[in-house]
C-alpha cells in the first residue's frame, strides 16, 4: 500500500464525520424539506413563471438550497484534515509532501464518490417528479441541471475544490495562526479587488459579462477545476514548512 | 559503532530566543539515551527537529544516515512520541489501527498487552482520556511501532508510579528482544536513570554533558561533616557547591575519589555520598563556565 493511500485511509480510520455525519445531516434536511414541500401546495403556473430562472431551466422551480450545506461540509473537512489530523500524521513518520498528496487524494476520491451518489439521487428526483412533491433538492438551476455525467463532474469538481480550499486554510492557520488566516483572507479579497479595478480601468466589464453569460455549466466546471489545481499548488507550497 | 543520530552545529532561533545553540552530538545505534535538562532547555525542540517536525535555523542533522526533514526513507523508520501529541477526534483503537498501517514492524500483540497493562480501552475517545491515559496511549504506539529510531519526549507525563514502572519494564524487555535506538527525554531523572546507557544533558540550548551513564557514577561526591574536616579534605579539589550550617558543612566535590581519599575521609569522620544523576543535572548550569568542565568531559569520553 503506497503512503498516499495510507494517508487517505488514515483520514477515514473512523469515517464518522466523512460519511455518517454528512449523509445523516443531508438525509435529515431532505426529510424536513420533503415534509414542508408536501404541506405547501404547488404554486400556480403564473407564480412559477415569476420565478423566471427556474422555469427557464425546466425544473419544478421549487428549490430548497439545502444541498449547499453538503458542499460547505467539504470546506470544513479540508480545514480539519490539516488542522486536526496533521500532527498525528507527521508523528507516524509521514512527510508533509505525502501527507498533503494523500489528503488531496482523499479529497478527490471522496468528492467523486459523493458526487456520484448525488447524481444518482438527482436521477431519482427526476424520475419521481421531484419526490412526488415537485421539489428540486438535488437539482440546482444552471449548475446541476444537465445530463447525469455533467452533474457528476460538476458536483465532484465543486466538492473537491472546496475540500482543497479548506486544506489551504488549515495549513495557513497551522503556520501563522489567526493573524495569518485573517491576512490570507485579506490577500484574497485584495486580489479580487485588484482584478475588479483592472477590469474597470480597462472598461472590460462588458466583456466579462459576456464571458460569464456565455459560460456553460461544463465551461464553469472546467474553470473550477483549474482553480482547484491552482489552490492545490498553493497549499502544497505552504505546507512544505509547516511545523507541528 | 555507528551513529543513528548525528547532529552538528545545530542552531534553532525563534524570534527573540535561541532554543538550540550550536548543538553537536552523536547517538549510537542500538542504545538507550537519556535527554535531560530543565524546562525550556531545548529538549523538545531538539526532538522535533530530529523527527522532522521542526526545521533547524542552521547546522546539520542526520538520522539513520540522512537528513530527516521531508525524507520519507528516514521518517518511516522513526517514531516520535510527544508529551503534547495532538490527535484527531478518533477513538484509541482507531489511532492504534492507523499507526499499525505505517509501521511494518508493528506488533499488535505487544500493543494489546500494553493496553491491558495500562488499562486502556480501545473504544474510548482520545479526547476524553485523562492526561496520564493519553501518555499511556503514546507509549503503546511508541513501543508497538518497533521503529528503528524511537524518540520519547516526556512520555509519561501524568502517569502514576505503577504505570511508569510498567513503562520502564516493558521498554527494557522489548529493547532486549529487539535492540533499537531510543532517545528519551525526562524530568524524572533518578527514576529512569537505570535505563540509560548514555546521557545527554542540555541547558539553555547547549549540550553541557554527553557521557556514558556508567562513567558518571561517582563523578561528583557530597562530602559532609565538621567544617574544619571538610575544608581540609576538599582543599585543592574542585568544588561546585558549599553549604554550611553551624559547625557542619556540606560540599560537592568533582572527580572520582580513590581508595586513599576515601580512607582519609573516614578517618576525618566525613560522610561521602555520590551525587545521583539527578543531582548532577541540577548542577548542570554550573558546568560550562566552571573550570572543571574540561575535566568532566574527560571523564565522559
Describe the crossing of helices A96-127 and A67-83 by its angle, rounded to 10 degrees.
170
Burial B148-179 (b: 16+ CB within 10 A, else e): bbbbbbbbbbebeeebbebbeebbeebbeeee
Q: Does B106 touch chain A (CB under 8 A)?
A: no
Give the count of beta carbons closer than 10 Å to the beta carbon of residue B263. 11
Q: How far is CA A47 from CA A43, A62, A125, A126, A138, in A?
A: 6, 11, 22, 21, 22
Sign of CA dihedral B288, B293, B294, B297: negative
- Low-confidence winner among A43-52, B105-114, B146-155 (lowest mean pLDDT): A43-52
Beta bridge mates, A39 = none
Residue A244 falls within a domain, yes or no? no
Domain parsing of chain B, residue ranges: 3-215, 218-300
Q: Are A14 and B54 an interchain contact pair (Cβ–Cβ within 8 Å)?
A: no
ipTM, interface predicted TM-score of the complex: 0.85
| Count of structural domains, chain A | 1
Residue A223 has pLDDT above 90, yes or no: yes
Q: Does B142 touch chain A (CB under 8 A)?
A: no
Pick the CATH number of B3-215 from 1.10.2020.10, 3.40.50.11810, 3.40.50.300, 3.40.50.720: 3.40.50.300
Residue B52 DSSP SS3: coil
Residue B296 has pLDDT above 70, yes or no: no
Q: Does A93 touch chain B (CB under 8 A)?
A: yes
- Cα–Cα distance for residue pair A58/A61, rounded to 1 Å: 8
Q: Does B76 touch chain A (CB under 8 A)?
A: yes
Grid cell, residue A28, equals: 435529515
In chain B, alpha helices (H): 43-50, 72-75, 92-102, 108-118, 131-144, 161-177, 189-192, 213-216, 227-234, 259-267, 277-282, 293-300
Residue B300 has pLDDT above 80, yes or no: no
Beta bridge mates, B211 = B199
Residue A235 falls within a domain, yes or no? yes
What average pLDDT does the segment B31-47 reach?
92
Give the count of beta carbons closer than 10 Å to the beta carbon of residue A56. 12
**Structural contact between residues A172 and A82, judged by C-beta atoms closer than 8 angstroms:** no
Q: Are A3 and B101 an interchain contact pair (Cβ–Cβ within 8 Å)?
A: no
Phi/psi region, residue B20 (left: phi>0; alpha: psi -120 to 50; beta: rest), is beta
Domain that holds residue A72: 3-239
Q: Chain A: nearest CA to B285, how far in angstroms?
A: 29
Q: Do the domains B3-215 and B218-300 sit in the same CATH topology, yes or no? A: no
What average pLDDT does the segment B132-151 reach?
95
Q: Does B103 touch chain A (CB under 8 A)?
A: yes
pLDDT in the model for residue A50: 44
Q: Please give the radius of gyration of chain A, using alpha carbons only, rounded to the nearest integer.
A: 20
B119 vs B2, higher pLDDT: B119
Q: Does B149 touch chain A (CB under 8 A)?
A: no
Grid cell, residue B300, equals: 565522559
Give residue A212's pLDDT band: very low, low, confident or very high (50, 70, 90): confident
Half-sphere exposure of A151 (CA within 13 A, CB side): 19
**Structural contact between residues A171 and A243, judged by C-beta atoms closer than 8 angstroms:** no
pLDDT in the model for residue A44: 54
Pick the CATH number of B218-300 from 3.30.70, 3.30.2420, 1.10.3860, 1.20.120: 3.30.70
Q: Are A88 and B86 an interchain contact pair (Cβ–Cβ within 8 Å)?
A: yes
pLDDT in the model for residue A163: 97
Q: What residues of chain A lie within 8 A of the CB of B90, using their CB? A: 13-14
Instruction: Quote the mean pLDDT of chain A.
Output: 89
- Cα–Cα distance for residue pair B54/B119, rounded to 1 Å: 33
Q: Chain A: nearest CA to B3, how far in angstroms?
A: 20
Residue A36 falls within a domain, yes or no? yes
Give residue B162's pLDDT band: very low, low, confident or very high (50, 70, 90): very high
Nearest to A103 by CA among A173, A5, A220, A202: A5
Q: How large a percentage of chain B has pLDDT more than 70?
A: 94
**Structural contact between residues B43 and B37, judged by C-beta atoms closer than 8 angstroms:** yes
> Which of residues 17 through 56 in chain A touch B, CB cutoff 8 A?
17
pLDDT in the model for residue B299: 43
Q: Chain B: nearest CA to A241, how far in angstroms?
A: 8
pLDDT tens digits, one per residue of B269-287: 999 998 888 888 887 666 6
pLDDT in the model for residue B287: 60
**Structural contact between residues B212 and B32, judged by C-beta atoms closer than 8 angstroms:** no
Q: What residues of chain A lie within 8 A of the CB of B150, using their CB? A: none
Burial of A59 (0-12, 13-18, 19+ CB in 10 A): buried
Q: Does A9 touch chain B (CB under 8 A)?
A: yes
Residue A117 falls within a domain, yes or no? yes
DSSP one-letter code for A21: I
pLDDT in the model for residue B286: 61
Amino acid at each position: 500500500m503506497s503512503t498516499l493511500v495510507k494517508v487517505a485511509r488514515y483520514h477515514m480510520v473512523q469515517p464518522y464525520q466523512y460519511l455518517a455525519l454528512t449523509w445523516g445531516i443531508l438525509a435529515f434536511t431532505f426529510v424536513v424539506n420533503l415534509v414542508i414541500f408536501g404541506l405547501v401546495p404547488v404554486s400556480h403556473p403564473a407564480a412559477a413563471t415569476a420565478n423566471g430562472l427556474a422555469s427557464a431551466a425546466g425544473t419544478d422551480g421549487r428549490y430548497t438550497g439545502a444541498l449547499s450545506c453538503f458542499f460547505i461540509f467539504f470546506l470544513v473537512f479540508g480545514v480539519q484534515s490539516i488542522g486536526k489530523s496533521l500532527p498525528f500524521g507527521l508523528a507516524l513518520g509521514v512527510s508533509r509532501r505525502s501527507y498533503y498528496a494523500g489528503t488531496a487524494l482523499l479529497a478527490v476520491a471522496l468528492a467523486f464518490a459523493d458526487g456520484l451518489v448525488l447524481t444518482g439521487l438527482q436521477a431519482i428526483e427526476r424520475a419521481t417528479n421531484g419526490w412526488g412533491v415537485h421539489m428540486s433538492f438535488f437539482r440546482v438551476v444552471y449548475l446541476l441541471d444537465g445530463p447525469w455525467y455533467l452533474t457528476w463532474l460538476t458536483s465532484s469538481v465543486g466538492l473537491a475544490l472546496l475540500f482543497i480550499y479548506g486544506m489551504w486554510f488549515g495549513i495557513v492557520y497551522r503556520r501563522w495562526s489567526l493573524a495569518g488566516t485573517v491576512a490570507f483572507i485579506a490577500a484574497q479579497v485584495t486580489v479580487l479587488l485588484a482584478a475588479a479595478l483592472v477590469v474597470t480601468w480597462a472598461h472590460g466589464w462588458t466583456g466579462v459579462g459576456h464571458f460569464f453569460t456565455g459560460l456553460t455549466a461544463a465551461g464553469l466546471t472546467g474553470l473550477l477545476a483549474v482553480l482547484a489545481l491552482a489552490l492545490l499548488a498553493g497549499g502544497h507550497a505552504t505546507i512544505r514548512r509547516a511545523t507541528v | 559503532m555507528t551513529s543513528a543520530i548525528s547532529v552538528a552545529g545545530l542552531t534553532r532561533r525563534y524570534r527573540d530566543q535561541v532554543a538550540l545553540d550550536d548543538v553537536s552530538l552523536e547517538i549510537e545505534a542500538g542504545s538507550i539515551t537519556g535527554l535531560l535538562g530543565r524546562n525550556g532547555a531545548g529538549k523538545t525542540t531538539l526532538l522535533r527537529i530530529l523527527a522532522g517536525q521542526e526545521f533547524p535555523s542552521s547546522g546539520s542533522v542526520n538520522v539513520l544516515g540522512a537528513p530527516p526533514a521531508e525524507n520519507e526513507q528516514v521518517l518511516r523508520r522513526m517514531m516520535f512520541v510527544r508529551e503534547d501529541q495532538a490527535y484527531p477526534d478518533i477513538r484509541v483503537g482507531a489511532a492504534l489501527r492507523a499507526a499499525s498501517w505505517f509501521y511494518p514492524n508493528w506488533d499488535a500483540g505487544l500493543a494489546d498487552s500494553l493496553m491491558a497493562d495500562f488499562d486502556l480501552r480501545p473504544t474510548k475517545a482520545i479526547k476524553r482520556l485523562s492526561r496520564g491515559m493519553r501518555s499511556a496511549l503514546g507509549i503503546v504506539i511508541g513501543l508497538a511501532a518497533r521503529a528503528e529510531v524511537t524518540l520519547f519526549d516526556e512520555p509519561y507525563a501524568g502517569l502514576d508510579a505503577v504505570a511508569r514502572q510498567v513503562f520502564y519494564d516493558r521498554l527494557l524487555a522489548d529493547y532486549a528482544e529487539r535492540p533499537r535506538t531510543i532517545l528519551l527525554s525526562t524530568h524524572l531523572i533518578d527514576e529512569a536513570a537505570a535505563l540509560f546507557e548514555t546521557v545527554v544533558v542540555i541547558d539553555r540550548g547547549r549540550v553541557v554533558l554527553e557521557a556514558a551513564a556508567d562513567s558518571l557514577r561517582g563523578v561528583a561526591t557530597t562530602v559532609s561533616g565538621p567544617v574544619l574536616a571538610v575544608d581540609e579534605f576538599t582543599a585543592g579539589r574542585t568544588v561546585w557547591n558549599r553549604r554550611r550550617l553551624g559547625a557542619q558543612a556540606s560540599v560537592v566535590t568533582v572527580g572520582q575519589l580513590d581508595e586513599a581519599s576515601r580512607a582519609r575521609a573516614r578517618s576525618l569522620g566525613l560522610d561521602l555520598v555520590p551525587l545521583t544523576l539527578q543531582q548532577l543535572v541540577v548542577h548542570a548550569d554550573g558546568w560550562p563556565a566552571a573550570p572543571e568542565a574540561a575535566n568532566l568531559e574527560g571523564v565522559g569520553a
